[in-house]
Amino acid sequence: MKYKLSVTRSFSSAHCLREYKGRCENLHGHNWKIRAAFYGIELDDTGVLIDFTDIKLHLSKIVNYLDHKFLNEIVPFDMVNPTAENIAAFVLGRLKDIETKNAKVCEVEVWENELSSAVVSM
């Protein structure tokens, strides 16, 4: 069997897209939503792939770093364009810190609004 579980968090922040030709090159904000997913094929002795609490805690730390900020001024987005795709990749990279023997981060989806999202996956 394959198992996949996910946790969702949200935050608000502003950004502008460098080198973008259009409205999004101007300063603007979003109410972002992030969904982080882990996968595995083996559960631990309690029947858990990875504790939801661990994912929630770590994802909340990442969200707190991004929340109510001008993303273009914080690392790594001071050097990397703060697109939904790059935010998703950033979050995925940070979630690798809590991977276990049984559970690996497999996907992060970032919505900039209720209609538009970007997904990065392993």
DSSP 50-69: S-HHHHHHHHHHHHHHHTTS
E-strand ranges in 2-103 read 3-15, 28-40
Domain of residue 99, CATH code: 3.30.479.10
> Residue 15, annotated ligand binder?
yes
- Tell me, yes or no, if 24 is annotated catalytic: yes
Q: pLDDT at position 65, please?
A: 98
Q: Taking a C-beta distance cutoff of 8 angstroms, is the pair 118, 85 a contact?
A: yes
pLDDT value of residue 72: 98
Q: Are strands 28-40 and 3-15 parallel, antiparallel or unpaired?
A: antiparallel
Contact between 6 and 35 under an 8 Å Cβ cutoff? The reply is yes
99 is catalytic: no
Is 34 within 8 Å of 8 (Cβ atoms)?
yes
58 labeled part of a ligand binding site: no
Q: Write the pLDDT tens digit of every residue in 15-74.
A: 999 999 999 999 999 999 999 999 999 999 999 999 999 999 999 999 999 999 999 999
* Number of structural domains found in the chain: 1
Q: What is the pTM of this model?
A: 0.96
Domain interval for residue 108 = 3-121
Is 30 annotated among the ligand-binding residues? yes
Q: What is the pLDDT of residue 107?
A: 98
Does the annotation mark 68 as catalytic?
Answer: yes
Given 16, 19, 58, 68, the catalytic residue = 68
pLDDT digits (tens, 9 = 90+) for 70-106: 999 999 999 999 999 999 999 999 999 999 999 999 9
